[in-house]
Structure 1
């Protein structure tokens, strides 16, 4: 959890303001135009061949490293700190680099930074590969206090699964945040569950609660005469309904495919679902595009799950 590898970090090309000339500017600009370099931020470039091979979050990690170099660098926070620590983040990678700012300067976006006003900038700050970053504990609390409930739950679920105590999150939240932010943080921290298997499962569980459906069991073990079928994402025992979030990563990731082709993964998933159905319950499945009340609600209602609130 505390290790950090930023692909391409040591290939960054920095053009210092003190020794940059018009010729240097023109040289780098032309290299960008030719597709040889990518401008990560002002005065910082990387070979395009490396950039093209990076995932969106790795590109953001690289942008963070490019932005906060130097002794006077700001403290990385919120989603940018979450990206560095590996916290579950929902949605697209951040555009700007999140950093802490003084209350006098206020919260604002400028120059590629999203500055978050904080009177407690030096509380829970860690050194990570030469960068000043809010600690894992504070990063999760800041995310839970600043993000919508579903996204905050994903961060808290990740923290609990990585051994951070709920009480520690709650204690820090009480010391750092305004009434509105505290309310958001407390709700996400109380709802968090270490058994969540992915950010999509976390968002699904939060949305299920928001829509008034009964809470599901998490990671229920199912077996048949052939042995273990697997652990299900969600199970409503009273209604004999299994819920499965399909994040699609298992089809794309070589690591998760474990040597199988995407077609073989699809076949294995179909067999697994057939075995689950054969034990008695119905199975409802959904994907990221279904994570809204307008889409997930009808899926669950159509599968026979009633709203109880």
Structure 2
């Protein structure tokens, strides 16, 4: 079988596995590098190759997982950690956390970062496996994410893990105590983790609210028709203040309007009409203000701040 046919088959098989390929010998390596120069293949890591057009369709999380699966095959002793392990576990997070590269557990303190791979020192590596890839335990993965990532990126990972029942707060606190280092960042995330958050977008929105000094919202509060308890709506975020003044915020990911799995294949107009009917009823049932937040509102921050302050939410800004 000619080399080009072998490579084509390997690329197709790797794609089915959600992985990349590496050269089995020098002849394959030369052929793969020629395809990179021709623009047919991408070379996202030293010695690792993937169809360029396919690679560009993947988001940051998918790319990180493809690389990890390939490198796990090439280097069986590698144990992935931190944000990379969180991606392999399938915890909700923002794709951007993978821009800095992959994370590995290392029992050698002096290992430095190179070629887009960062080493996290741990004298004893708590070994687990997911998707056939070696990773650190869920607890260690979460703690490392809290220590590496900003609060707003770490909270969605924690919410997702707790929502699945993959860990417990006491276990994480015990692990933090064993590390004999500053784990205040992990303590802060544990203070606010909430398994009621339904997805990473809602968790990110709540993290930004916290960082912008708004009161922590109640999640998934139910509002019911006072004349018919069987008619009710559950909202993403709610605040109720003395005197009964109630503010609701809804996080509108674009999937709410475009993903058939979420829209039931209804048209965008039908979804909007149902949304308007829902808002009308919430106002009738005692809600005073409803704020709709988009992903752009959250990541840009100032639109979120303007909308929430405009709805009357106070901010606990320290002088």
How many matched pairs? 295
Aligned residue for 2:209, secondary structure, equals helix
Query: How far apart are 1:300 and its partner, in Å?
Result: 0.9
CA RMSD, 1 decimal? 2.7
Contact 2:89 2:130 in 1 (8 A): no
Contact 2:19 2:66 in 1 (8 A): no
Q: Under a length normalisation based on structure 1, what TM-score does the superposition of the two structures give?
A: 0.83
C-alpha separation in 2, matches of 1:9 and 1:39? 18
Summarize the Cα distance change of 1:173–1:252 in structure 2 as closer, same or farther, 3 Å threshold.
Answer: farther
Contact 2:60 2:95 in 1 (8 A): no
Whether 1:56 and 2:57 are equivalent positions in the alignment is no
Map 1:1-309 to 2 at 5 A. Answer: 8-9=16-17, 12-16=20-24, 19-21=25-27, 24-34=28-38, 36-48=40-52, 50-51=54-55, 53-70=57-74, 72-92=76-96, 94-95=98-99, 96-106=101-111, 108-120=112-124, 122=125, 124-163=126-165, 164-176=167-179, 178-179=181-182, 182-224=183-225, 227-238=230-241, 239-281=245-287, 282-291=289-298, 293-308=301-316
Aligned residue for 1:178, secondary structure, equals coil
Matching residue of 1:3: none
Query: How far apart are 1:67 and its partner, in Å?
Result: 2.0
Query: How far apart are 1:126 and its partner, in Å?
Result: 0.5
Contact 1:219 1:233 in 2 (8 A): yes
C-alpha separation in 2, matches of 1:254 and 1:39? 34
Query: How far apart are 1:48 and its partner, in Å?
Result: 4.6
Gaps of 5+ in 2: 1-13
Query: How far apart are 1:187 and its partner, in Å?
Result: 1.2
Q: Under a length normalisation based on structure 2, what TM-score does the superposition of the two structures give?
A: 0.81
Deviation per CA, 1:72-109: give whole Å up to 9, x if none. Answer: 53210111101000112134251311112345324x43
C-alpha separation in 2, matches of 1:65 and 1:252? 31
C-alpha separation in 2, matches of 1:51 and 1:271? 42
Contact 1:7 1:58 in 2 (8 A): no
Summarize the Cα distance change of 1:151–1:204 in structure 2 as closer, same or farther, 3 Å threshold.
Answer: same
Contact 1:8 1:50 in 2 (8 A): no
Gaps of 5+ in 1: 1-5
